[in-house]
Amino acid sequence: MLTHRTVSVGGLRTHIAEQGAGPLVVLLHGWPETSHSWRHQMGPLADAGYHVVAPDQRGYGRTDCPADAGQYTMLHLVGDVVGLIHELGEQEAIVVGHDWGAPVAWHTALLRPDVVRGVAGLSVPPASRAAEPPLTLLRKRIGDGFYQIYFQRPGVAEAEFGADLRTTFRKLLGGSADAPVVRDGEGFLDRFTEPDPLPAWLTDEDVDVAVESFGRSGFTGGLNWYRNIDRNWELLAPWQDRPITPPAFYLCGDGDITRAFSDSSRIAEIATDLRGAVDVPGAGHWVQMERRNEVNAALLDFFKQL
C-alpha cells in the first residue's frame, strides 16, 4: 500500500511517497512536478519486489524550500539523495530520475558511485562537463529567449506561472510547444497550446494535485535549480572527464522536446556500463505517465540485470 511520511534529510523536512519492501529504488521527479509524477510506477515496481521511494525534492511540494538560491546546487541535490538513502537505513539504491531528476540521478552515480547500485535517466541523457559555462553555450546556440535563460530572472517566471495555476499546468503537462523559446513581449506559456480535452494519460485530478502542490510551495524553489546551472558547472570541475561507472540505463520518448537541445549520441562513452538505451515511439516528454506500461517493463528489465 502506498504511504506518505516526512523524514529529515540534511536538515530538511522531506516528504516521501513509499511502497513495497526489498532493494531500495529512489525515483526523482523533474520540473514542474512532485513525487506524484511517479504514481504509475510505485505499485508495479513494489509488486515486483522493490522498496520504492519517491521524494518531493528540495524546493517542491511538501518538502522544505530553502530561501537562499545558493542552496539548490547539484551538490545539494546529490547530497539529498545520498542522505535519503542513508536515512532509510540503506547503503545503496537504484536511482531513477526524469527530466531534472535525471541529471540528479546521473550526478549521484558520478559523485557517489558507492551508493548507486544502478542508475536510470528518463528524457535527459548524461552529459560531459562542457568547455564553457552552459548558459553561455545556450545563448550562442539558441539565443537569449531559450527558456532556461528566461528562468534566470528572479520573479519573472514565478509571476507568469503563478497567475493562473490551473492554466499553467494544463499547458505545461497536457499541452504542446513547437520550441521552448520565449519571444519578445511574450511569456513561456505563450508557446504552449491548452488542451481541450486533456490527453488520456492526464486527468483533472492530476492537475488538481499540481495546483495544490505549487499553490503551497510556489515556483521559486524549482526555478532555483535552473539558476544554479552555471554555478554547477564551476562546482563540478573536479569531476571533469570522469565517467559514470555504475550500471546505467536511458529511456526517452522519440517525440520528447528535450531532444532538440540534448545529445544522446555519447551515452556509452559517459556511462561506461550502459545496459540499454530505449526510444519509446510516439511518446513525448512525460513518458513515465504517457507510456507507463512500457516504462515499467523497461525499468524492471534493467533492475533484473543488477
Contact 198, 204 (CB under 8 A): yes
Q: Which three cell numbers stand for residue 20?
A: 513495497
Q: What residues are annotated to the active site? A: 99, 285
What secondary structure letter does DSSP report for 235? Answer: H
pLDDT for the residue numbered 274:
98
CB 271 within 8 A of CB 302: no
Q: How far is CA 55 from CA 38, 153, 181, 188, in A?
A: 10, 27, 30, 27
What is the crossing angle of helices 204-217 and 165-174, to 10°?
120
Domain residues for 69?
Answer: 3-304
Low-confidence ranges of the chain (pLDDT < 50): none
Place of cell 545556450: 138
pLDDT of residue 155: 97
**Which residue type is seen at 249?**
F
Chain-centre distance of CA 144, in angstroms?
Answer: 23
Sheet holding 116-122, edge to edge: 3-9, 12-19, 51-55, 24-28, 93-98, 116-122, 248-253, 274-280
| CATH code for the domain in which residue 106 is found | 3.40.50.1820
131: Cβ–Cβ under 8 A, 6 or more apart, which residues? none
Predicted confidence at residue 240, as pLDDT, reads 96
What are the residues whose beta carbons fall under 8 Å from the beta carbon of 279, sequence distance 6 or more? 251, 252, 253, 254
Cα-based distances in Å from 154 to 107, 133, 143, 168: 26, 20, 19, 18
The grid coordinates listed for 196 are 481541450
**E strands present in 92-179:** 93-98, 116-122
**What per-residue confidence (pLDDT) applies to 208?**
98
pLDDT at site 179 = 83
300 CB neighbour count, 10 Å cutoff:
16
Domain count, the chain: 1
Q: What is the pLDDT of residue 178?
A: 82
DSSP letters spanning 156-208: HHHHHHHS-HHHHHHHHHH--BS-SBPPTT--GGGGB---SS--TT--HHHHH
Contact 57, 239 (CB under 8 A): no
